[in-house]
């Protein structure tokens, strides 16, 4: 036994630290932290008893006063019997401390259980009341991400119900009874502790189950990103103060929420308090600014439009910080455009009005975007402006505006999977994560600067400085790519205006909105069928292993940007960044697509395959002596009339294909590729034998689909050719890896990955 002094603030043991001792507190107080909850340990309590099965400390123990510990060597449950027999005088003290600890753990678990069983209904009740009050006070209810996915608690609690009363009642026995039963009976004490340790393990397991559920679902109520039920109700409170009776009604709803949060286990009390302080400060300021302002009857308000939306244009202009002249001119133009009987007209002054609005829109867009770079929580209508191109509810349509308002705070791209909103994409350019896109004249940022230098407009030093200047890179993107792509994805350049307007909508925005989840699902489906679609061949060498020249394939997922418009088409803008072939392509889509998303994405990927092949082949992209997708396809379409394997009817069909595609070989390939994935992958004949053979060679299906297609004779020839080519590649890689391993060398991961790729 060793005595150890500790001072206030000392971390005695940390969670996860190996268990080497159990420690009896002789003097002082210690606080144990577990799952965001704290347990207090005082004189005669023993630290580490609850950790005997895990062999590591499950709590973090902090000293909250000066004190003394007596440490007893103990590394786990197997040391328990010896410990109890060698320290019989304090064995009953260990039992008493364990009873107190397990009783407190059980009480904590019961609180977690109560919270977990009640939080689902509470969230739904709060959200329903929030939506009802929004409707009453003409405030558009916002949609919280994840709210539709929450479910009632259904986890398994391994702790038997009777254990709670069992340990609580044992703990409530007086110390004399404890001592009389356990003192001098180390075997009884050790056996009882073994039972306790086993039950503690179950209790901790149950706590983890409840914690996992509560951590997930309680983020709906309060979370660090600030978009939660707390913020929604507080915003409603602020915005409805001028309405008679609203202050008291919404305050009652907020009280229900805050009472629940203050009592819920696992909620960070400091974070909760900081949010409450900010809420009360803002509310008092708002109440003070309202002063004696005239209140409005709730019935009258509920028949109108949300106040936040009515002032959209004013909010956006004020936020941008633009000058009065631009603000006045833009406001006048928006109002004029809204009142036009035919906003898509190509007569009179309407086209000129659209052009003026477009110019001013992008000036404002840049001003607003730059300001949001330093503002983590811009107003909701500002987010609507950046993400959707929205400026005014009358122009957008009041129902459409309400829908956009409800999703603006929760709508985000998925940069981890290379899917961005327009503003997220510009942010990545500004932060240097991506280089600016090509201009409409296919000029990238370095080429543009080189051109300026050649024209003597800048010198070499200025070129080097500008090359990494993020403000200039952002300017290039916003002036040379962003407006052009926005117009292209709109699909009707002569009638284009970037402002979100209801006359451009063919269907409800709820139906046409493009989400990252939808895009990812479609791309994953295509990658599953056409497994090599995003793979690029690149050289691999390893002089130490004697590998001087080997080709491997690497997968590069394209960047997809959702442009702020309601459009008809996508744009495969560039197949690589700069000149490096192992960089991602860039594709752009309207955020509201008035068409079939799967077909549009498939066509973009077909264009990508064609353009990447052209890029890799260079000037020989249509030279049959250098076999490639484009050279084979060009040869097939150029000389189909001389191909004796094709029937006359098939030749007529190819002629019609070319005519419909205006003799564009690329367009014919794109159409064929769509049929290849959508129809031929299911064995539905759509392509002739020549086109089928080319696509099977350069865009093969995965092994499962190929196996299914072997039952259909029309695929046999193409599958046989592909199989022979695949087998040759597999044999080469297998022999190379085997040779390395026989020489006592470890095959590099790149070759192992390539072997797995070849097996597909």
Q: What is the pLDDT of residue 291?
A: 61
* 580 DSSP β-pair partners: 577
- Which of the residue ranges 156-165, 427-436, 638-647 would you say has the lowest mean pLDDT? 156-165
Q: At what angle do helices 88-136 and 186-217 cross, to 10 degrees?
A: 20
481-526 pLDDT, tens digit each: 999 999 999 999 889 999 999 999 988 999 999 999 999 999 999 9
Burial group, residue 431, by CB count within 10 angstroms (0-12, 13-18, 19+): exposed
Query: Of 198, 123, 114, which is closest to residue 159 (Cα–Cα)?
Result: 198
Q: Band the pLDDT of 303: cuts 50, 70, 90.
A: very low
Q: What is the pLDDT of residue 335?
A: 93
Q: What is the mean pLDDT of residues 333-351?
A: 90
Q: What is the pLDDT of residue 519?
A: 96
Q: What is the pLDDT of residue 300?
A: 45
Q: Band the pLDDT of 587: cuts 50, 70, 90.
A: very high
Q: Which residue has the tokens 């409170």?
A: 237
CB 757 within 8 A of CB 535: yes
**DSSP string spanning 417-470?**
GTEEEHHHHHHHHHTTSSPPPP-TTS--HHHHHHHHHHTTSS-HHHHHHHHT-H
Q: What is the pLDDT of residue 522?
A: 96
176-185 pLDDT, tens digit each: 777 777 766 7
Q: What is the pLDDT of residue 690?
A: 94
Q: Going by DSSP bridges, is the β-strand pair 30-34/37-41 parallel, antiparallel, or unpaired?
A: antiparallel
Q: What is the pLDDT of residue 1?
A: 60
Q: What is the mean pLDDT of residues 613-621?
A: 92
Q: What is the pLDDT of residue 326?
A: 95
Q: Going by C-beta distance under 8 Å and a sequence separation of 6 or more, which residues neighbour residue 49?
A: 22, 94, 97, 98, 101, 193, 196, 197
Q: Band the pLDDT of 306: cuts 50, 70, 90.
A: low
**DSSP string spanning 552-564?**
EEEE-PPEEEEEE
536-554 pLDDT, tens digit each: 988 888 888 888 888 899 9
For residue 471, the tally of other CB atoms under 10 A from its CB is 10
CB 496 within 8 A of CB 518: no
What are the backbone angles phi and psi of residue 83, rounded to the nearest 5°? Answer: -60, -45
Q: What is the pLDDT of residue 301?
A: 47
Q: Band the pLDDT of 429: cuts 50, 70, 90.
A: very high
Helices first, then strands: H and E counts in the chain: 31, 14
556-585 pLDDT, tens digit each: 999 999 999 999 999 999 999 888 888 999
- Which of the residue ranges 89-103, 228-242, 350-364 would you say has the lowest mean pLDDT? 89-103
CB 69 within 8 A of CB 26: yes
b/e 719-754 (16+ beta carbons within 10 angstroms → b)? beebeeebeebeeebeebbeebeeeeeebbebbeeb
Q: What is the mean pLDDT of residues 594-604?
A: 95
Q: At what angle do helices 470-480 and 422-430 cross, to 10 degrees?
A: 150
Vertex 424, ends 142 and 365: CA angle to 5°?
85
How many CA atoms lie less than 13 Å away from 684 in the CB half-sphere?
7
Q: Going by C-beta distance under 8 Å and a sequence separation of 6 or more, which residues neighbour residue 676?
A: 686, 687, 692, 695, 699
CB 97 within 8 A of CB 72: no
Q: Band the pLDDT of 302: cuts 50, 70, 90.
A: very low
Q: Which domains are assigned to the chain?
A: 2-218 (2.60.120.10), 223-302 (no CATH), 305-411 (no CATH), 413-537+557-609 (no CATH)
CB 112 within 8 A of CB 210: yes
Q: What is the pLDDT of residue 50?
A: 83
Q: Which helix (H) or strand (E) holds 591?
A: strand 586-593
3-state SS of 337-395 is HHHCCCCCCCCCCHHHHHHHHHHHHHHHHHHHHHHHCCCCCCCHHHHHHHHHCCCCHHH
Q: Band the pLDDT of 412: cuts 50, 70, 90.
A: very high
DSSP, collapsed to helix, strand or coil, labels residue 700 as coil
Q: What is the mean pLDDT of residues 82-102?
A: 79
Q: Distance between terminal CA atoms of the chain?
A: 64
Q: What is the pLDDT of residue 295?
A: 58
Token pair in block for residue 63: 């000293």
Token pair in block for residue 552: 């491997």
Flag whether pLDDT at 697 surpasses 60: yes
CB 570 within 8 A of CB 603: yes
């Amino acid at each position: 036994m060793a005595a150890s002094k500790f001072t206030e603030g000392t971390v005695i043991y940390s969670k996860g630290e190996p268990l080497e001792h159990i420690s009896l507190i002789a003097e002082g107080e210690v606080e144990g932290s577990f799952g965001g909850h704290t347990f207090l340990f005082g004189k005669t309590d023993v630290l580490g008893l609850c950790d005997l099965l895990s062999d590591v400390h499950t709590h973090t123990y902090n000293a909250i006063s000066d004190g003394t510990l007596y440490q007893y060597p103990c590394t786990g449950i197997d040391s328990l019997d010896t410990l109890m027999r060698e320290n019989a005088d304090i064995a009953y003290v260990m039992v008493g401390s364990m009873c107190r600890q397990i009783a407190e753990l059980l009480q904590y678990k019961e609180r977690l259980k109560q919270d977990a069983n009640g939080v689902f209904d509470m969230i739904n009740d709060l959200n329903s009341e929030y939506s009802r009050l929004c409707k009453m006070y003409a405030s558009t209810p916002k949609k919280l991400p994840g709210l539709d996915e929450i479910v009632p608690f259904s986890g398994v609690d391994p702790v038997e119900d009777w254990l709670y009363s069992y340990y609580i009642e044992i703990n409530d026995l007086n110390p004399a009874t404890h001592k009389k039963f356990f003192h001098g009976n180390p075997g009884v004490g050790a056996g009882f502790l073994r039972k306790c340790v086993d039950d503690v393990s179950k209790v901790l397991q149950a706590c983890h189950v409840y914690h996992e559920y509560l951590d997930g679902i309680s983020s709906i109520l309060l979370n660090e990103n600030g978009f939660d039920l707390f913020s929604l109700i507080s915003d409603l409170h602020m915005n409805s103060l001028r309405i008679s009776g609203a202050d008291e009604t919404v305050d009652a709803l907020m009280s229900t929420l805050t009472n629940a949060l203050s009592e819920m286990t696992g909620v960070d009390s400091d974070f909760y308090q900081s949010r409450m302080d900010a809420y009360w400060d803002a509310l008092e300021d708002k109440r003070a600014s309202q002063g004696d302002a005239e209140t409005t009857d709730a019935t009258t308000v509920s028949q109108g439009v949300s106040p936040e939306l009515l002032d959209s244009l004013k909010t956006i202009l004020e936020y941008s910080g633009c000058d009065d002249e631009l603000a006045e001119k833009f406001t006048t133009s928006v109002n004029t455009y809204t009142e036009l009987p035919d906003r898509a007209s190509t007569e009179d002054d309407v086209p000129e009005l659209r052009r003026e609005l477009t110019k001013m829109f992008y000036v404002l867009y840049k001003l607003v975007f730059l300001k949001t770079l330093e503002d983590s929580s811009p107003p909701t209508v500002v987010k609507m402006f950046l993400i959707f191109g929205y400026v005014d509810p009358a122009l957008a349509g009041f129902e459409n505006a309400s829908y956009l308002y409800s999703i603006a705070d929760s709508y985000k791209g998925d940069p981890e999977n290379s899917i961005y909103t327009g503003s997220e994409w510009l942010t990545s350019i500004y932060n240097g994560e991506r280089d600016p896109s090509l201009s409409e004249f296919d000029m990238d940022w370095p080429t543009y600067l080189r051109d300026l230098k050649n024209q003597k407009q800048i010198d070499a030093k200025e070129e080097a400085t500008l090359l990494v200047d993020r403000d200039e890179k952002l300017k290039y993107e916003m002036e040379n790519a962003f407006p052009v792509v926005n117009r292209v994805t709109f699909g009707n350049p002569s009638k284009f205006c970037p402002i979100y307007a209801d006359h451009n909508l063919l269907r409800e925005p709820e139906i046409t909105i493009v989400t990252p989840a939808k895009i990812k699902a479609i791309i994953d489906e295509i990658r599953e069928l056409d497994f090599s679609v995003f793979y690029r061949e690149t050289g691999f060498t390893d002089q130490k292993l004697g590998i001087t020249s080997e080709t491997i394939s690497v997968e590069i997922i394209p960047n997809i940007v959702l442009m702020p418009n309601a459009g008809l088409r996508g744009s495969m803008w560039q197949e690589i960044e700069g000149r490096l072939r192992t960089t991602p392509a860039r594709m752009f889509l309207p955020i509201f697509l008035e068409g079939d998303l799967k077909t549009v994405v498939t066509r973009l990927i077909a264009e990508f395959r064609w353009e990447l092949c052209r890029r890799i082949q260079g000037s020989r992209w249509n030279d049959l002596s250098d076999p490639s997708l484009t050279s084979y396809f060009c040869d097939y379409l150029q000389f189909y009339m001389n191909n004796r394997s094709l029937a006359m009817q098939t030749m007529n069909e190819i002629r019609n294909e070319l005519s419909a595609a205006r003799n564009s070989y690329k367009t014919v390939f794109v159409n064929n590729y769509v049929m290849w994935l959508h129809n031929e992958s299911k064995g539905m004949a759509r392509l002739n034998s020549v086109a089928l053979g080319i696509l099977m060679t350069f865009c093969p299906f995965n092994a499962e689909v190929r196996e299914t297609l072997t039952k259909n004779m029309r695929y046999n020839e193409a599958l046989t050719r592909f199989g022979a080519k695949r087998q040759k590649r597999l044999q080469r890689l297998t022999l190379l890896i085997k040779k390395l391993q026989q020489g006592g060398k470890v095959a590099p991961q790149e070759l192992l990955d390539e072997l797995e790729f070849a097996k597909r």
